[in-house]
Chains A and B, each alone.
Chain A
């Protein structure tokens, strides 16, 4: 699903005062659930997407909301994986592998060591390899392949060794 469509939906929800919206797309096999005005952060829209949208702020809302992990799909308090976040050092497009055909550099459960390549962030046609700064085990991958990320956005949760 196109990020622009998600953003338009959020804008429409804003204007119409709609707080929750669920949308199922049979063709793409995707389910989107948008919720606005969560108790903890009343101004920020909570975007939940089975695949797609990263946690960039697309609603013209408080940018501070962009930093929280937003990939947990369940609405009822999920079992939040514990770990130390690895954040993006730059703005760009997130890739989990070196080419569309290649295997992802890391996945949940991968044991990582210092300096190991975790992902690629493309900025201005330059592929920047993002390396681990500490050793551990990947607990969660927070961004989908091909999604935009901003500076400081958490990419992975890692349980340090």
Chain B
């Protein structure tokens, strides 16, 4: 087992990893930037090292500084958290060459699943459906119409150089495809200097379903059920829950088995997430593998009773999974709201600054993972997350009720937060009935029409 773990991250996830280590009896080294010097979670670490100035490129993303800190502190493992260097295969490789255990998958696995084309091939090899598409660029009008016939309408035209929703358009029939094809090429050429476009089937009003995976170094891969993350805004998840209200037991078993097959095919180790789009017709499609612990891992922790960060550490230290698939039991329903320092009334503008008053909610069924407190100053250099508010109840309707109660109790004075938005979403009939999809938030709570949601964090 590891003696000392360095946490190469900040905020609530740094605190989460410190908590897991302390329960396992492992010493912790917290690294921090000058902007985080006052954060209270640093006091829970056995050792703290300032690694650089506020800019993440010179601190939390600076590989030499983090490795130097690990060497100075004599840490035998590094937990990367999420974001920052968590899915950087080069960093995982550097750790390896410095004889420091990276708590995550092997560098080659990170690289492989991080490449969209390769990940798609792995899924196909594992017999898992992928979104049908052109598998490469579409050169001319003739090819375009023939391909569209084969894939079936509606078709999404995407710029190869685009991303994050940019350079996309939808065609529902041949005339709009031909017009869209030429327009998209010209647009992409102008915007990205590269007019290459490709096609994909457009999955209308999909749901975002992801399956949590745990895989040890002895070839055992288990799934810990799914999370439904359909409540998103511009690819940012706002609410996650498990189990998903839109899966039948049969479909759940099928998707979870598909995720396990993908993990096997990728020789995956440690914790990971396999993401899918679920169409209204019940068809599901693989989108990507996230080779890290995710923000919303907590939802799975509540319904399974497992500590996922502890499991990550145990797996990285070379331990066998101490339980089998049949030992994983799912209990009740868990719901998570991401509380961000953003102003929903002003297009979700970040609202950093001092928290004058912070009164966390509590009581039965409530969990709050947050590094904030009264007097804490949210730095403007990083993401706007204040914390993750979770509830765990016997049924979905009860979870929603407890969450509304907890949101009412939660007092954050100073920055604007997403709490009022969560209240509105939880009260909306589409969410209550579980009939919402990834376009739900923008449809009802934003001025902008829904963009098909694909790449999420």
Contact = CB atoms under 8 A, between A and B. Distances in A.
Interface stretch (B61-69, B126-134, B279-287, B354-362): B61-69
A42 interface: no
Contact of B48 (A66, A90, A152): A66
B115 interface: no
A151 to B, nearest CB: 4
B276 interface: no
Interface residues of B, number: 30
A56 interface: yes
A64 B50 CA distance: 10
A91 B74 contact: no
Interface string B27-41: 000011110011000
Interface in B20-57: 31-34, 37-38, 42-53
A154 to B, nearest CB: 12
A124 B94 CA distance: 10
B190 interface: no
A50 interface: no
B43 A61 contact: yes
B347 interface: no
A123 interface: yes
Contact of B53 (A57, A61, A151): A151
A150 B64 CA distance: 13
Contact of A64 (B38, B53, B64, B69): B38
A52 interface: no
Nearest to B47: A58
A123 B68 contact: yes
A62 B30 CA distance: 12
Nearest to A93: B72
Nearest to A126: B64
Nearest to B94: A124
Given A60-B46, A153-B50, A91 B68 contact: yes
Given A63-B37, A124-B67, A152-B34, A92 B72 contact: yes
B47 A151 contact: no
Interface of A: 4, 7, 11, 56-58, 60-64, 66, 90-93, 122-124, 126, 148, 150-153
